[in-house]
């Protein structure tokens, strides 16, 4: 990675993704996130002329995506892979790392260079789907969700608690099992989740 005269770092090596740190991450901050992790971020996207085309900040809703899996433009996959939690940066992304020759009409014109003010709020390893888990992982997840439900219940958040208990009950048993087909070692946890 090389630096430009304005202090931006050329993270793509060809000038396609420039990153200028606006706010350093706090000392000891986690990061950068590895490929396959779920990233939570805020962003404001503008065209080169300053026209804003999108902003999670304006919506008050952080954006989540799995890094390195092509769910977002290449400039984001590579840009966020250099950040730490709490860091704010300006990513200047050339069209070949953004929306390409076509753009994304009507807001992003063809061959547009984009500026994104971004903040990495957090990241976590993507949770396995139930069908990907072995029995011990499923049971551990069910117990974790049940404990979270109990905390919510004790705080008076009954609707959220009920949702956690229902999810816990789902993880407590294997795929397609119900009634007397539920193995004895899984049945007690399943019943306790259902009765909460």
Whether 116 is a known active-site residue: answer yes
The active-site residue out of 10, 21, 54, 65 is 54
Whether 73 is a known active-site residue: answer yes
Whether 96 is a known active-site residue: answer no
Q: What angle do CA 72, 78, 79 make, to 5 degrees?
A: 95
Q: Is 121 exposed, middle or buried (0-12, 13-18, 19+ CB in 10 A)?
A: middle
Helices 184-195 + 135-154 axis angle, to 10: 20
d(CA 160, CA 196): 12
The active-site residue out of 97, 99, 123, 190 is 99
The active-site residue out of 9, 10, 21, 53 is 53
Whether 99 is a known active-site residue: answer yes
The active-site residue out of 11, 17, 67, 73 is 73
The active-site residue out of 43, 165, 171, 190 is 43
Whether 11 is a known active-site residue: answer no
The active-site residue out of 80, 97, 116, 190 is 116
Q: Is 177 exposed, middle or buried (0-12, 13-18, 19+ CB in 10 A)?
A: middle
Sign of CA dihedral 54, 2, 7, 82: positive
3-state secondary structure of 19: strand
Token readout for 193 is 């989740």
d(CA 32, CA 85): 8
Residues known to be catalytic: 43, 53-54, 73, 99, 116
């Amino acid at each position: 990675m090389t630096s430009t005269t304005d202090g931006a770092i050329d993270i793509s090596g060809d000038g396609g993704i420039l990153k200028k740190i606006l706010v350093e991450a706090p000392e000891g901050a986690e990061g950068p996130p590895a490929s396959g992790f779920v990233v939570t971020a805020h962003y404001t996207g503008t065209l080169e002329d300053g026209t804003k085309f999108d902003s999670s900040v304006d919506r008050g809703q952080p954006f989540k995506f799995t890094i390195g899996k092509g769910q977002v433009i290449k400039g984001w996959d590579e840009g966020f892979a250099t950040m730490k939690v709490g860091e704010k940066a300006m990513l200047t992304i050339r069209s070949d790392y953004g929306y390409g020759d076509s753009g994304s009409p009507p807001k992003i014109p063809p061959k547009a260079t984009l500026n994104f003010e971004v903040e990495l709020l957090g990241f976590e390893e993507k949770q396995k789907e139930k069908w990907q888990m072995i029995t011990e992982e499923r049971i551990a997840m069910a117990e974790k969700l049940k404990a979270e439900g109990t905390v919510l219940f004790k705080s008076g958040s009954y609707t959220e608690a009920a949702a956690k208990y229902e999810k816990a009950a789902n993880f407590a048993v294997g795929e397609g099992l119900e009634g007397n087909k539920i193995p004895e070692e899984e049945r007690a946890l399943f019943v306790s989740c259902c009765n909460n």
